[in-house]
Amino acid sequence: MLKRPTDLRLGWVLMSALAGGVMLAGCDQIGDRVSRAKEIAEASAGQVSGDTIVDESLRNLQAASMADRALAGTVMAEFVVDDEERPMFAIGSIIAKPIDIAPTAAMAVEDTAMSAEEIEYFEEEYYYEEEAAAGDIPESAPASAPENATSREVAGDILQVEQVLPTIMIDPRAVAKTEKSIAAADKEVDQLVLDEPPLAGRLKKMTRQEFKALPAEEKAEIRKLARRAPLVRETLKAQIDANSVMADTMSKYNMGGAVALSREGQMVIQIGPDGASPTQFKGPVTDPASFLARADSAKCTDEIQPADVVGDLALATACVVRDLRASGQFEYVEPDFIFQNQFVRRNKDAPQPDTTAGTGTGTTGGTNTPTQPATFRPNDPLWSLQWHFRDQGTADDRSAGGAGFETFWNRQGTTGSRSVVVAVVDTGLQMAHPDIAGSPNIMPGWDMVSDPRMGNDGDGRDSNADDPGDMCDPTKANAADSFHGTHVAGTVGAAATDNGAGVAGGAWNVRIVPVRALGKCGGRLSDINDAIRWAAGLIPAEGPGGTEEWNENPADVINLSIGLLGACPASLQDAIDSVTERGAIVVSAAGNARMATSFYAPAGCRNVVTVAASDARGQLTPYSNYGAEVMLLAPGGDLTRDDNGDGKPDGVLSTKAATNCFDPVTGQGVASCNYAYEQGTSMAAPHVSAALALLKARTPSATKDELIATLRGALDPRQPLQCSGLCSQYPGTTAVPGSPDMCSRPCGAGLLNLAGIPAAPTGGGGR
């Protein structure tokens, strides 16, 4: 075992060289590749041993303290699909939606007699300077607020604290008790709907000029209200009525449980043999098999009878799903699947990655140069190692696989805007991280992990989005907490940029909302669905005493660096459709299983921006998923390569607590650090989220479709060999013409390149 820091670096060098030689069989450039691997090995070994003087031009790196520059990055073998990647579900948890529930957006218009244009009016962040045409928007509100009035008072007391929706308890062994619970929920819903003023009554109607005259806080309150899903009696009634069907089905298998209602019709059903909700268990659990099951190990066939499921809650869950589907009363019924983060995890027994993939030489960039002298260049010491944000090209300070952020900042004159919000639905944030604790970009988030066994923090949902760690099985080799959300959010802009410490983020001045939906062993689909809707400001979370807690910073962009091996679940598609209908953009990692994205979620869902991972050459990485659903490539990194020749693995460098670190200046070992190289489509997605946030800051009035079109219009096209791999490693793919051993892996319209976006029209943007 290599233990010394220098040995770790040399170990990485040797593994890179090995990968560069062993995997070249069948290719015609073996000599050149081996020579290149040897050059990398020698140069890297010299740097980390101190024989080579680190380039003095690495801005601020040597002047920074070791705590502000130390980082981690070790070699990882190729990701392979193993038992961990087969779909799992939470035992005793089911997601369902009754049939014939109209879309909430449509109901909001019908119930309030407001037009779609009026709702859009209140959702816009900025407005035209000229007066609205007479009759466009009814005028009924004063141009300004009463002196000393709060935003809640100005909004007409529309933000009154309300109770969350009731939960229905079902106990088939006590029919009267169950009926009483259903009746009580019915009565409570009636009162909640009656108490909630309609949208038209909650929103002040005024001209654009009157709206602009309001303080920013009051405008924000009104916009948030326009997005919120209303309480609609028909939607809630359909859920309540469905409980009789669920009670009959649970009784068949001698199960009881709890049913949680929602504003948009999606219900979460928790079943158990003792009638208790499985998520209420709070005892210490070391074996995830006690609350998670493989989807293929719990199949309820037609031959299985109720007596066959006694003592097997996993099988009972599958059978309840089967019977509820067969009832014809539901739009969809599905298990509560478990999603994983999209880091490329280490597997010691896996072969080294295919370094022959993408041997073609497509465009290398270098044609997009700043139109003005650089004025936005972060002083963070590790910026010099963040090749992924650089402009494309081969000259100094450029990278063939860079995403062009530096030119964008300077050409557009903006590094973001406080009016733009990006939600990161992930493992939460390390709130004590030194580059995050002092960041002005972090907004209040929420912990949506409902099951205390997965929460790893001793409780269920609450307002604390801190990441306590997500390690599933401590006995497994290489087991460790991922702190995945911290790395992802750091790339978007959670890290305090231009503060002379650590790393830079892609968007310096945006608001980041952390929404914790993944915990120990992954994240429940039901939690992720709620997290997406809460992030967009559609539904409330449950606060202390059962009060509603809304996201006060509804997201413009929602980053999902998560994945499930399987087709897009219907409930997840429902949640995505809900938020995109209201103007949010959902960005998804393509996944790291080296397969078509149609077999992965949310990458294969509709209405998402699906992002595959590229390396420092701008070529599709060996681990990345691919397919027709992929919209674009973005830097995801490849820790087995050093194509930029800096003596470091070509991973994406971002915020994250790590161990076995090193000082990039001296090569000396450091026990722990706050920055790390990682690789994965999880790293690619936040580059795109940051890019869309910057575009929103540049042109605040742009719609989500316009923002996406602008991003697509500047992509740098890839040549076929830049998105290819050995046909033997990617079955079912099509050979590249002229290269029979190499097969194409569709990787979207091109590589993210913000430098290709022309300067905004005068008055279109700002910091």
124-130 long-range contacts (CB < 8 A, ≥24 apart) are 124/223, 124/701, 125/223, 125/419, 125/700, 125/701, 126/419, 126/700, 126/701, 127/208, 127/211, 127/212, 127/701, 128/208, 128/701, 130/208
Question: Comparing C-alpha atoms, which of 339, 387, 342, 363 is closest to residue 625?
Answer: 342
Spell out where 590-651 has E strands: 600-601, 609-614, 630-635
Alpha-carbon span 722 to 699, nearest angstrom: 32
Question: Comparing C-alpha atoms, which of 767, 766, 763 is closest to residue 128?
Answer: 763
Please give the DSSP secondary-structure letter assigned to residue 229. Answer: P
Please give the DSSP secondary-structure letter assigned to residue 700. Answer: T
Catalytic residue among 682, 689, 724, 744: 682
Inter-residue contact 518 to 561 (CB < 8 Å): no
Sign of CA dihedral 214, 217, 220, 226: negative
The H or E element spanning position 672 is: strand 669-678
Q: Which residues pair with 293 in a beta bridge?
A: 89
Alpha-carbon span 425 to 587, nearest angstrom: 11
What residues contact 247, with CB distance under 8 A and at least 6 apart?
170, 172, 178
Alpha-carbon span 378 to 367, nearest angstrom: 23
Residue type, 341: N
Inter-residue contact 525 to 339 (CB < 8 Å): yes
Catalytic residue among 68, 111, 380, 426: 426
Residue whose entry in the numeric block shows the structure tokens 């990055």: 73
The H or E element spanning position 188 is: helix 175-195
Inter-residue contact 572 to 531 (CB < 8 Å): no
Inter-residue contact 620 to 630 (CB < 8 Å): no
Q: Give the 3-state DSSP-derived string for 92-147, with helices as H, strands as E and coil as C.
A: EEEEEEECCCCCHHHHHHHHHCCCHHHHHHHHCCCCCCCCCCCCCCCCCCCCCCCC
Residue 487 annotated in active site:
no
At residue 63, the 3 state secondary structure works out as coil
Tokens of 474: 């401590």
Tokens of 181: 């619970």
Alpha-carbon span 238 to 96, nearest angstrom: 12
Sign of CA dihedral 505, 506, 509, 512: negative
Catalytic residue among 388, 433, 484, 487: 484
Residue 682 annotated in active site:
yes
The H or E element spanning position 524 is: strand 523-524
At residue 525, the 3 state secondary structure works out as helix
Inter-residue contact 460 to 517 (CB < 8 Å): no
Phi first, then psi, for residue 272 (nearest 5°) are: -165, 155
Residue 489: count other Cβ atoms within 10 Å of its Cβ.
Answer: 37
Residue 654 annotated in active site:
no
Residue type, 566: G
Alpha-carbon span 635 to 645, nearest angstrom: 17
Catalogue the active-site residues: 426, 484, 682
